[in-house]
């Protein structure tokens, strides 16, 4: 019984060492490893986009300039996430 408890303790430590914590909040856009694959420490496993604050630089047709105003909001869908986001025009 004590050997089984000791082995269970070893497994608990191993499970804690398998936790993956991202350095910041964001959206996973690419998985770089397969499920249950063993990887070395420091190996990139996921590509994460920090979508809390994004800045867009857009080229728009000149005829839009009279319609766009600072403070105006618009929606867009990034290819990486496929999720709609709302943005605000800051300057033209």
Which residue ranges make up each domain of the chain? 21-88
pLDDT tens for the chain, 92 residues long, are: 788 999 998 988 888 877 788 888 888 889 999 988 888 888 999 999 887 777 889 999 999 999 999 999 999 998 877 889 899 999 98
Q: What is the DSSP letter of 5?
A: H
Burial 71-80 (b: 16+ CB within 10 A, else e): eeeeeeeeee
Cβ-Cβ contacts under 8 Å for 80 (sequence gap 6 or more): 27, 29, 49
């Amino acid at each position: 019984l004590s050997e089984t408890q000791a082995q269970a303790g070893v497994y608990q430590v191993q499970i804690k060492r398998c936790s993956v914590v991202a350095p910041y909040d964001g959206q996973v856009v690419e998985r770089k490893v397969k499920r249950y694959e063993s990887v070395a420490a420091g190996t990139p496993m996921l590509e994460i986009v920090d979508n809390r604050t994004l800045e867009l630089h857009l080229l728009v047709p000149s005829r839009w300039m009279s319609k766009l105003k600072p403070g105006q909001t618009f929606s867009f869908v990034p290819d990486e996430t496929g999720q709609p986001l709302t943005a605000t025009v800051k300057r033209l």
